[in-house]
Amino acid sequence: FPALATALHDNRRLWTIFATEVADAENPLPRDLKARLFYLAEFTREHTGKVLAREASVAPLLEVNAAVLRGLRGGET
């Protein structure tokens, strides 16, 4: 569990950075994409707390990260 907690902490920190960046008015991404990324950051923050409290599975967080990576790769599997 300690290794999982460390990974969850690092992941939450990364998503906090994403949220900060998309909240910046000068960020050139389309408004809709920024809103979606911000939502995912909020989901990640909340769900990470549940995983750390052993109230939820880590699977949704893995799915979110995998989907974002696929998108960054242009939809490649």
As a whole number, the mean pLDDT across the chain is 94
Residue 49 has pLDDT above 60, yes or no: yes
The whole-number average pLDDT for the span 34-43 is 96
% of the chain surpassing 90 pLDDT: 91
On the question of pLDDT at 77 being above 60, the answer is no
Question: What backbone phi and psi angles, to 5 degrees, belong to 22?
Answer: -75, -20
Contact predicate 61/47, CB 8 Å:
yes
Residue 42 CA to residue 19 CA, distance in Å, equals: 8
Residues 30-42 have a mean pLDDT of 95
